[in-house]
Amino acid sequence: MSREYSPGTRFAQNHDTVSERSIVRKRAEGTALRLHSLALISILLLFAGSAVASAAQSSGGTMISVTNPLDAAALVYVSGYEISPEVFYPGETGTVTVYVTNAANTSVSVSQPNLIDSHLKVINIGDFATATSIGPGETIEFNFVVTATGSDGTYLPLFTVSTNVYGASAIHSQIKLRIDSSDVRASISLKPDRFSLDTKDRVNVSVVNSRSGNITNVLIVPETVGATVSPDESFAGNLGAGQSVQVPFFITPKKDTTVTFHVSFKNGDNRHTTDVVLPVVLGDNKQGAEIVINNIESTSTGSTFTLKGDVTNNGLTAARSVLVTVGSPATPVDPNPEYAIGNLEPDDFSSFEVTYSKTGPGAVPLIVRFKDSDGNMFSRQFTMDGSSNSTAYGQGGMPGSVPGSSGSSFNRRSGMFGSFGSGLNQVPLIPIAVILIAVIALIIAWRKGLLKGFAGRFRKKQDDDDEELKEQ
């Protein structure tokens, strides 16, 4: 017997099936949501734990978890130290900084820090009268101000600090401290053989750090009266152990004097100075230009005198902007009151011609002015009696010249010789011209056949001489 269902019955059965499936799906979605939330919370807790661990590590290193105060006190240790200056002078004051670290996860109180050694004295021991608490993973520092009382050598002061935990041992550590009496050396490593008046010369100040530690802020300041020194000061910076530096200065003296170079530097925070003194004694500049006057010739026309001669640079450097004139009692007049020569290289010379009138009796000074490559002005003075064919003799240097310089003089050569100026060698113009004219005349005569008759007579005479020799 078959079973029949009405349309309403089939709809109700399908609706029940859909409802059951919806309930199952919703239950699955709720379970997945709870799982996702748990995973997210776990990740957040993991990041939070890492952050806490990183913070603990950055605060002083990895902390060790302890519960016993004695175990915590045992985890306090000296983690390092610094000394300034690096190497002490005997009797010098500096600082010793000791770092103490607590590796426990709980605070530890410490007190009575000290540095113990017979070769140094702690000045600020009273600053450590109270106890200090070191937090978990924390590092603190103890700054001792000390004076080195020992002689040269290396010492090992003992650092000690007590923990305020009953039954715990004090913390001890040795540090290394050096004392050295070797000083920084300063000297003049470069200078001219002689200084010249108003002439700029270079000198080098050498600074050598012969100590076993570094020095800082090296500064050199010159001091003098009677000379110009540049620069006003020079900063050389820092010098390591065994290093040196050359510092240049330029000196232009006005008179005999001394220049004191004050060399200062720091060893730690302590300033030290040393001086080097340079005597500046004026003399002839062996490397400079040396002016010589010779071949003097003086003529007169009425009240006007004409002075001719040669200027020679007998030195080792060029004389620049050379100018020749005369001084009182002579008065320079036209057409040549001054004679500009220009530059004279070493071993070069030039002729000059100046005109003047005399306003009184006495010898006439011949003045030669010139400059060096730095623009310093020099002057040489030579004296002549002002008569015809007079001679000049050295009168010494005028202001701006090198003391002790003098001129050489000779009678001016006479004869048929001309000369070029401005430093060119003298050239015998007239004899050369005569020879050239003669050569040109011979060439013209030969081309025009004027020499044929003379050549024929010479050839005939030679043949007659040969015949006579054969007959003999």
Give per-residue pLDDT as tens, 393-414. Answer: 443 333 343 333 333 333 333 3
What digits encode the pLDDT tens for the residues 295-325?
Answer: 999 898 888 999 999 999 998 889 999 999 9
Residue 200 DSSP symbol: -
Average pLDDT over residues 339-346: 94
First-to-last alpha carbon distance for the chain, in angstroms, is 193
Note whether 187-280 and 291-397 share their fold.
yes
* Whether 168 contacts 256, CB under 8 Å: no
Q: Which residues contact 452 (CB under 8 A, 6 or more apart)?
A: none
Q: Is 0.75 topped by the overall pTM?
A: no
Residue 79 burial (CB count, 10 A)? 16
What is the predicted pLDDT for the residue at 385? Answer: 62
Residue 104 DSSP symbol: B
> Shortest CA distance to 310 belongs to which of 424, 439, 463?
424
Confidence class for position 422, pLDDT limits 50, 70, 90: very low
Measured at the CA of 111, the angle between CA 106 and CA 112, to 5 degrees, comes to: 155
Residue with tokens 């390092």: 80
What is the predicted pLDDT for the residue at 346? Answer: 93
Sign, Cα dihedral of 350, 351, 355, 357? positive
What is the predicted pLDDT for the residue at 189? Answer: 96
What is the predicted pLDDT for the residue at 137? Answer: 93
SS3 assignment, position 45: helix
Pairing mode, strands 185-190 and 132-134: unpaired
- Answer whether residue 235 shows pLDDT above 70: yes
- CA distance linking residue 73 with residue 67, whole number of Å: 11
Residue 16 or 135, more confident = 135
Average the pLDDT over each of 346-350, 404-408, 431-435 and give the range with the smallest value: 404-408
- Answer whether residue 416 shows pLDDT above 50: no
Parse the chain into domains and list their residue ranges. 16-58, 69-179, 187-280, 291-397, 428-459
Residue 135 DSSP symbol: -
What digits encode the pLDDT tens for the residues 119-153?
Answer: 999 999 999 999 999 999 999 999 999 999 999 99
Confidence class for position 444, pLDDT limits 50, 70, 90: confident
What is the predicted pLDDT for the residue at 112? Answer: 94
SS3 assignment, position 87: coil
Cβ burial, residue 257 (10 Å; 0-12/13-18/19+):
middle
- Answer whether residue 354 shows pLDDT above 90: yes
Give the domain 291-397 fold. Immunoglobulin-like (2.60.40)
- CA distance linking residue 208 with residue 34, whole number of Å: 78
Rounded alpha-carbon distances, angstroms, from residue 91 to 146, 264, 274: 10, 19, 17
User: Of 40-44, 370-374, 393-397, 446-450, which one has max mean pLDDT?
Assistant: 370-374
Write out the H or E segment, with its range, that includes residue 304: strand 304-313
Torsion angle of C-alpha atoms 90, 92, 97, 98, degrees rounded to 10: 30
For 346-372, the DSSP string reads: TT-EEEEEEEEEESSSSPEEEEEEEE-
What does the mean pLDDT of the chain come to? Answer: 80
Residue 224 or 425, more confident = 224
| 116, β-bridge pairs | 158
Q: What is the CATH code of the structural domain delimited by 69-179? A: 2.60.40.10
- CA distance linking residue 302 with residue 358, whole number of Å: 11
- CA distance linking residue 259 with residue 207, whole number of Å: 16
> What's the CATH class of domain 187-280?
mainly beta
What is the predicted pLDDT for the residue at 447? Answer: 76
What is the predicted pLDDT for the residue at 37? Answer: 54
Pairing mode, strands 392-397 and 377-384: antiparallel
